[in-house]
């Protein structure tokens, strides 16, 4: 069994969260029922939902006037929900294309209305974040993907717009402090830093809802979900429960400031080894390197078999790179420990 899980998602979660979740599968808080069988209308689950929402607001310092939703369909459904709710029939949206997921988000919007790619890093296989582009006035919204899991890049500064600013933060939410007030809507699939796959977090400014001239199907309407407190239909109970446990864990670790410090230290450990070790080279531009997904290549492919055997022997899993980039990808999400990062660093150093 691997001890060091570098999977890109679903990914590593804290061991104490797993243990509490496992206990709840048999018996939730001594009520004699499994968390998998309780009603989503029960007082027990309503308490879970309320606590999860409250912890999101507390940990991320969400201002007044925003709703916290737990929806379904992953970030992929958000690619469609965003334009349905925010792109007017005669309006215009712009996308910053920084990877495969940003490209898919744009594709959904372009199929529904007037959307354009404002800037792209496709010319260099998405190994950098575009800069120096001018954001036109009068946009309904500007959409960014803050961290790019496949290519290992991350926005260090966010663009501004006189329209709405929308962000897919699936792979770096809860990893660092962010100013929520700069965004009108943030969405994130749970399966990176929040919990298991099955729910999607949406943080949306209430005043932007119900403004479009478009007829929105009920299941795609943020306002309907907000009014129903994320229970318009049966929510993914277990995924939300585990997310709540993980949010409790984050708070106990010292909150977002402590989490950010820990993540920065882990990233520095790994990038330092990549930069000093002649057998490895990073794929992303230095200034745009992700603190969540570290992508790197061997400089000598004849060492591949030896390295693959070495990291497997060190009980490391999930570091094979995505086919779009090749090489290796170490996803160092919140729950991955410094000890796990050190295990990989030691393996790389021994190879040299």
- Enzyme catalytic residues: 101, 168, 192
Crossing angle of helices 43-60 and 255-276, rounded to 10°: 60
CA 234 – CA 227 distance, rounded (Å): 14
Residue 209 CB neighbour total at 10 angstroms: 20
Contact predicate 303/348, CB 8 Å: no
CA angle at residue 273 from 131 to 261, to 5 degrees?
A: 65
CA distances from 49 to 46, 59, 196, 206, 249 (A): 5, 15, 15, 19, 16
Crossing angle of helices 74-86 and 100-112, rounded to 10°: 40
Strand partners, 143: 95, 166
- DSSP β-ladder status, 293-298 and 115-120: unpaired
Contact predicate 61/68, CB 8 Å: no
Beta strands in the chain, from DSSP E residues, in sequence order: 4-5, 66-71, 93-97, 115-120, 141-145, 147-148, 153-154, 164-168, 185-189, 200-205, 280-282, 293-298, 316-317, 328-331
Residue 320 DSSP SS3: strand
């Amino acid at each position: 069994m691997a001890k060091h899980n570098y999977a890109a998602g679903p990914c590593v979660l804290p061991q104490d969260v797993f243990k509490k979740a496992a206990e709840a599968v048999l018996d939730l808080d001594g009520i004699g029922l499994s968390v998998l069988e309780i009603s989503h209308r029960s007082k027990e689950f309503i308490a879970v939902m309320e606590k999860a929402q409250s912890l999101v607001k507390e940990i991320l310092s969400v201002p007044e006037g925003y709703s916290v939703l737990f929806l379904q369909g992953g970030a992929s459904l958000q690619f469609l929900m965003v334009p349905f709710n925010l792109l007017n029939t005669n309006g215009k949206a712009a996308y910053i294309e920084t990877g495969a997921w940003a490209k898919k988000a744009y594709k959904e919007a372009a199929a529904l209305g007037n959307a354009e790619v404002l800037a792209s890093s496709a010319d260099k296989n998405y190994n950098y974040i575009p800069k120096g582009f001018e954001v036109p006035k009068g946009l309904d919204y500007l959409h960014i993907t803050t961290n790019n899991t496949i290519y290992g890049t991350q926005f260090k500064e966010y663009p501004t717009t006189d329209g709405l600013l929308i962000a897919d933060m699936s792979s770096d939410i809860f990893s660092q402090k962010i100013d929520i007030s700069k965004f009108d809507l943030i969405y994130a699939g749970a399966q990176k830093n929040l919990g298991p796959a099955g729910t999607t977090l949406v943080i949306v400014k209430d005043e932007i809802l119900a403004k479009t001239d478009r007829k929105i199907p009920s299941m795609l309407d943020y306002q309907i979900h907000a009014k129903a407190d994320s229970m318009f239909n049966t929510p993914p109970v277990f995924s939300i429960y585990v997310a709540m446990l993980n949010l409790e864990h984050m708070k106990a670790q010292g909150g977002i400031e402590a989490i950010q410090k820990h993540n920065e230290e882990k990233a520095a450990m790994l990038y330092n080894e990549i930069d000093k070790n002649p057998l490895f080279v990073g794929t992303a531009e230095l200034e745009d390197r992700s603190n969540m997904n570290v992508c790197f290549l061997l400089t000598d492919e004849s060492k591949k078999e030896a390295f693959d055997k070495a990291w497997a022997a060190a009980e490391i899993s999930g570091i094979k790179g995505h086919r779009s980039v090749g090489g290796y990808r170490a996803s160092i999400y919140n729950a991955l420990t410094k000890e796990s990062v050190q295990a990989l660093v030691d393996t790389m150093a021994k190879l040299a």
